[in-house]
Homo-oligomer: A and B are copies of this chain.
Amino acid sequence: MTVYDIVKSRLKEIPHNEKLLSLKYESLDYDNSENQLFLEEERRMSHMGFRCLEIRRWVICGLIGFLTGLIACLIDIAVEELAGYKYSAVKQNIEKFTEFGGLSISLILWAALNSAFVMVGAIAVAFFEPIAAGSGIPQIKCYLNGVKIPCVVRLKTLAIKVFGVICSVAGGLAVGKEGPMIHSGAVVAAGVSQGRSTSLKKDFKIFEYFRRDTEKRDFVSAGAAAGVSAAFGAPVGGVLFSLEEGASFWNQMLTWRIFFASMISTFTLNFFLSIYHGKPGELSSPGLINFGRFDSDHKRQLLKRLKKSMSFLHFMLQLSLSLSLSLSLSLWYIHRPCLQVMEAMLVAAVTATVAFAMIYFSNDCQPLGQDSTEEYPLQLFCADGEYNSMATAFFNTPERSVRSLFHNPPGSYNPLTLGVFTLVYFVLAVWTYGLTVSAGVFIPSLLIGAAWGRLFGILLSTITSSQSVSIWADPGKYALIGAAAQLGGIVRMTLSLTVIMVEATGNVTYGFPIMLVLMTAKIVGDYFIEGLYDIHIKLQSVPFLHWDAPPTSHWLTAREVMSSPVTCFNRVERVGRIVDVLSNTSTNHNGFPVVAHTTENEEPGKICGLILRSQLIVLLKHKVFVERASSRLSQRRLQLKDFRDAYPRFPPIQSIHVSQDERECMMDLNEFMNPTPYTVPQETSLPRVFKLFRALGLRHLVVVDDENRVVGLVTRKDLARYHLGKDGLEELQLAQT
């Protein structure tokens, strides 16, 4: 366990403190504010109206799927074209110089091309939208969990993300284009469902009903599912991914719509890619990555494969463990200044150099078959009709390399080549992960896993060759199992990953061994450290709510957990006080209980409702004051539409001018507050509070005493603060970072 210890000690040096919980993140509200305006609107709507809404939801989901598929298609075609151009240029150059011995020029060309691509991508990400770095999956996980990460679902993020991922994949980094698809799908969903783009200042005046957190979150989960579906050609896997991340707000109709979006997405991608590949109507490209078809040798293989996978587990998990640890280490880079671009270019150049060196020094020549999947076979110093086998691994997009490892016939790879490749690629992947480029971790994990899986298979067949060669025959299957184990050990998804892998291989019979491997990878991995995404979330101090409260937290009650005292408003409140409270930057509360009549002494008032900062801002902006009520008869009455128009970027309080006269006016909150907020008594245990909060996706939960008087307020950070450490329950510190 030396690697583990070293990494553990290094982790402590990382400037991000694991024991902090940031206060800068706001929560999404999955609970509708059922105020009078809302109820009036709902009551006005007929049965047909609701049916139309439902149809509109389906249309939006269709659009989400379609656009996500298109984006996936765009990324794929762009990467293919750019990488194709790059590899053929380099290949020509190498072929030209192999004779003359001037291969260093080829190396420089390769490195320069890589660096150029990566530089463009890194500049876009580092200078224009840093949130677009990485795969975006942790951010989407947070969003589905109910945490608002700034800028995460904006159009600009999407543009930079797509551009960045094209550049970094074409630049030959050890990254994949699948992870970012999930983020892209989510952005598409957030944009389409709102019927407007705030960035482009364009409002299509459609889908206005869906302009609130509740509806938006439903659509974002559909978008994430569509992204998974497009990336892996796995619609069911996509649905399960969204489900695993956000099951608290699940129902059958929603599942259905999400499924529909996933289907449309994979179909769109398939349709357009087939046309691009010149085989319209064939629909042979269901996802960005395609593992190719595994023929099933139905009989006598399943149990065998099972045994294999079992014998594997130990070795496999060690590796996946150390990888996830090392990857987490690389997070250290993330917040460094703009050396980032330089670093990305360096990594690109190093990747090219290392690859070149390995190809150059490798003597492993393989005969060039008729049905070879190689698109750019490099002859180099091999005899005619043979190609350099190391080059198939490096001189190729990682997706193709994975496919070669799965499907090339036994004997295509020399064990030494594979071993060296695994090690080198592992180091490169870890280094690359910390870069400020948009890129996913799925494909490098699969590639590393496939490489050592295949290596293991080759070794096993060498050992057992004396007995019966046929049984341990196909190292491609070991590669598949290894890839699943490696990926599972890193991302720790379970049900969804099983289904994704099965859908990507197109063969159900592999389901059982894959399940077993993923399950074991998760159990063993969890024993040592959390999954990569969870580490990511933790290091960023996001108040992420897990499924349940820590089991040993029955000691705590709402009284200990809640924030208090609570800033409350009266049903009819003075404008000056509201402005003062909202302007108080030291507290920055977002929800305020409305109470019956706060007496000036400290005794709290009876709860009558809950009003949000965003609502108050809109009220102040429209100057809805009691004193103007008489003139308001001529003025138009404030409608739900006014709130929806301001959603989701409500102006800050500083931008609203309130004159001294107006400060003395009164504001009647009765019509706008949510009159029936969820409340709990003070003695409620933490797990019970947690369950209510999580199951309903709340943002504020009011704690009341026997007399229904407000005594405290529970928000996300109050609950996320408690977690299970090594020595029982631990409490994280709150920080303003």
Interface residues of A, Cβ cutoff 8 Å to B: 32, 34, 39, 42-43, 45-47, 50, 235-236, 239, 243-244, 247, 250-253, 255-256, 259-260, 263, 266-267, 279, 281-284, 293, 296, 298-300, 302-303, 494-495, 498-499, 502-503, 505-509, 511-512, 515-516, 519, 547-548, 551-552, 554-555, 596, 606, 608, 675-676, 678-681, 683-685, 688, 691-692, 695-696, 704, 706-708, 724, 728
Chain B residues with CB under 8 Å of A498's CB are 236
A296 CA to B554 CA in the complex, in Å? 55
Contact across chains for B554 and A43 when beta carbons are under 8 A apart? yes
**Known A50-B552, A676-B683, A692-B696: A252·B247 in contact at CB below 8 Å:** yes
Q: List 5 other contacts, CB 8 Å, given A47-B551, A235-B512, A676-B688.
A: A247-B251, A284-B298, A296-B506, A606-B706, A704-B708
Contacts of A247 in B (CB 8 A): 247, 250-252, 255
Q: Count this chain's copies in the assembly.
A: 2
| B contact residues around A692 at 8 Å (CB) | 678, 696
Q: Which 10 A-B pairs have the closest CB atoms?
A: A50-B551, A42-B554, A251-B547, A676-B684, A283-B302, A695-B695, A247-B250, A506-B508, A708-B708, A281-B303
User: Could you tell me if A506 and B509 are in contact, using CB atoms closer than 8 angstroms?
Assistant: yes
A–B Cβ pairs within 8 angstroms, 21 of them = A34-B685, A43-B555, A45-B552, A47-B728, A50-B551, A235-B515, A244-B255, A247-B247, A252-B494, A253-B548, A263-B515, A263-B516, A282-B303, A283-B302, A502-B508, A506-B507, A675-B681, A676-B685, A695-B695, A707-B708, A708-B708
**Could you tell me if A511 and B236 are in contact, using CB atoms closer than 8 angstroms?**
yes
User: A719 to chain B: closest CB distance in Å?
Assistant: 15
Q: Which residues of B contact A251 (CB under 8 A)?
A: 247, 547-548
In the complex, A656 Cα to B281 Cα: how many Å?
75
A262 — nearest CB in chain B belongs to which residue? B515
Contacts of A266 in B (CB 8 A): 512
Whether A552 lies near B691 (C-beta < 8 A) is: no
- In the bound complex, do residue A256 and residue B708 qualify as a contact, i.e. CB atoms below 8 Å apart? no
Kindly list chain B residues whose C-beta atoms are within 8 Å of the C-beta of A708. 704, 706-708
The reply to whether A508 and B511 contact each other, CB–CB distance below 8 Å, is no
Complex CA gap A702/B707 in Å reads 16
Chain B neighbourhood of A244, CB < 8 A? 252, 255
CB distance from A729 to the nearest CB of B (A): 9
Cβ contacts under 8 Å, A508 to chain B: 502-503, 505-508
Min CB gap A250→B, angstroms: 5
Query: In the docked arrangement, what's the CA distance between A316 and B243, Å?
Result: 31
Q: Are B236 and A724 interface neighbours, CB within 8 A?
A: no
Complex: chain B residue closest to A249, CB-CB: B695
A259 touches B494 (CB 8 A): yes
Please name all residues of chain B whose beta carbon is closer than 8 Å to the beta carbon of A505 when the two chains form the complex. Answer: 508
Contact of A495 among B259, B509, B512 (CB under 8 A): B259
User: In the docked arrangement, what's the CA distance between A508 and B510, Å?
Assistant: 12
B519 in contact with A260 (CB, 8 Å): yes
Out of B303, B519, B547, B675, name the residue touching A683 (CB < 8 Å).
Answer: B675
Nearest chain B residue, comparing its CB with the CB of A697: B695
Give A355 to B552 CA distance when docked, in angstroms.
Answer: 64
Residues of chain B contacted by A50 (CB below 8 angstroms):
551-552
Partner of A676, one of B281, B554, B681: B681
Q: Which residues of B contact A42 (CB under 8 A)?
A: 554
Give min CB distance, A671 to chain B, whole Å: 14
CB distance from A269 to the nearest CB of B (A): 12
CA–CA, A296 to B294, complex, Å?
11
Chain B residues with CB under 8 Å of A283's CB are 302-303
Q: Indicate whether A512 sits within 8 Å of B267 (C-beta atoms), given known contacts A39-B685, A683-B675.
A: yes
Q: Give the distance in Å from the alpha carbon of A165 to the alpha carbon of B18 in the complex.
A: 57
CA of A186 to CA of B478, assembled, Å: 36
Q: Which residue from chain B places its CB closest to the CB of A516 in the assembled complex?
A: B263
**Quick one: closest B residue to A552, CB to CB?**
B47
Nearest CB on B from A293, distance (A): 6
- Report the nearest B residue to A251, measured CB to CB: B547
- For A728, what are the chain B residues with a Cβ–Cβ distance below 8 Å? 47
Chain B contacts for A252, CB-based, 8 A: 244, 247, 494, 547
B300 touches A282 (CB 8 A): yes
Contact A236 B499 (CB under 8 A): yes
Residue of chain B at shortest CB distance from A299: B282
Instruction: Tell me the smallest distance from the CB of A58 to a CB of chain B, in Å.
Output: 10
Complex CA gap A556/B340 in Å reads 58
Q: How far is the CA of A396 from the CA of B551 in the complex (A)?
A: 54
- Taken together as a complex, chains A and B put the C-alpha atoms of A148 and B50 apart, in Å, by 32
